[in-house]
Structure 1
Amino acid sequence: MTHGTTPPTTPGPRRPEAVIPCIDVSEGRATEPAGHPGLSDPRDVAEIARNYARDGATTLFLDVFDAWADTGYLPDLLRELDETGLAPVVSVQQGVLTSLAACEKLLAAGAAKVSVSTSMAEEPDLVASAATELGGHRLLGVLNCAADGRGGWRVLVHGGDTRTGLQATDVARRYGDLGLAAVLANSVDQEGTSAGYDLELTGAVARASGLPVIASGGAGAAEHLVAALDAGDASYVLVNKLVHSGRTTIAALGEALRGTAPEEGHGP
């Protein structure tokens, strides 16, 4: 994804640019120290981002845990991130959208896109207004999902703490109707397992939405990224702890996607 543009629906598998690193942020700092070698401050978001950019990343997902009222630091941080060349996609308060003005402020400061998740379940009219007024291509839809035991997935909100009665594919279809840039399909069941993405989920979301899908939740090795891009109908893959911990690098994952490197998952 690039600043102000919609990701292509068929970017092609095995592109290094398809790997999107995520940084969890609170009070303007990474919530956990990064394990990358050579960092002077392992909790400095901009320094971690520069490391990812040097390794070939083009997009960065910022998962900001603070409430909107406590994000006064974000415009300055976004301006700093702009110097890295990365396109920041910003999620605030588990995908809550408080107002169009708040969203516009982040976009003006340098956010490529603002994500919506909780608000899509609780204030769908506000999300629809944002898509109309700001352009759907400036919004990223997020689905935090858990399997319902009947072959489907239920949507969870507030960071996965609250289950809803909404089916993931129904919300995905609505994201498609609104013309959002892409959909991030996160499997809460797979999250933190390092067992790989839920490929059935990513495929179902891609078919329902007609949008590019970012696979999320469960990445533990390069082979999981390859599987999502080759067999899971994903256009992009989100990685968090796999690279933030220092177990591997964006550059190594990119080489693995090209098919020119051995399987990763070990330290650099």
Structure 2
Amino acid sequence: MDSIAYVNGSFVPLSEAKVSVLDRGFLFADGIYEVAAVLDGKLIDNASHLARLERSVGEIALKLPETVARIIEIQKELITRNKLVSGLVYLQVTRGADTGRDFAFPKSGVKSSLVMFVSEKEIVDAPSAKTGVGVITVPDIRWERRDIKSVALLAQVLAKQAAAEAGAAEAWMLEDGFVTEGGSSSAFILTQDDVIVTRQNSNAILPGCTRKAVVALAEERQLRVEERPFTVAEAVAAKEAFITSASVFVQPVVTIDGKTVGTGKPGPMATRLREIYVDFAKATAS
């Protein structure tokens, strides 16, 4: 059955959802996107995602075509129309379709474009949360403004393809010998002395919304958190490793480049943080 999407003011079957070939998102990757999780038909940590959306569009001088309040209404309408219980709501804002292919911003008369659609996904009871996943490492070949959630994702596509070909679920990207982040996730380790380590926010990584919530939830429980870079060698020698994102919540990492992390099974810290985050998600869903 065809799902319902939203394209610039209209709800349409996904198979009929279209934008112009002159759309600057298509021609230049001149756009921003966000993905929010849905549990029990409700949005998870959505305010954080929309705050990041506002920050990202502001960084590239891109005006939202709708108010944030209206965007929330559309998100919820899509959930209702698609009877979505568990999954994701994707939204993308581009600078719109100009009359030609000019690198500079359109001077006037071009309205930014807003597209949204949903996808079903079992997040809470995902089998990989019980078994853990493998990651590989690849060079980080992205631009220097990774804090902007740009639709320009070719580097991440290549990283995730390399992971898929290696039978892994994710790729951790490396710069100057240190892990920056995953292709679509934030990277964490638990040291042998029980310190949770994740790279600090900067232009080098995307400020993950789930990462932010997990760090806050850990600190609330008096768990030790250190925000700094870490190496692959440190990760392999760690007690545990895990990733976070809106699409997986907290997911244990049990191998890195084929090397076993910890016991090779999901560890107690990642398991506990996942349970804590799921409780938070359900309690604050809207």
TM-score, normalisation: structure 1? 0.27
The structure with the greater share of residues assigned to helix is 1
For the pair shown, the structure with the greater C-alpha radius of gyration is 2
TM-score by length of 2: 0.26
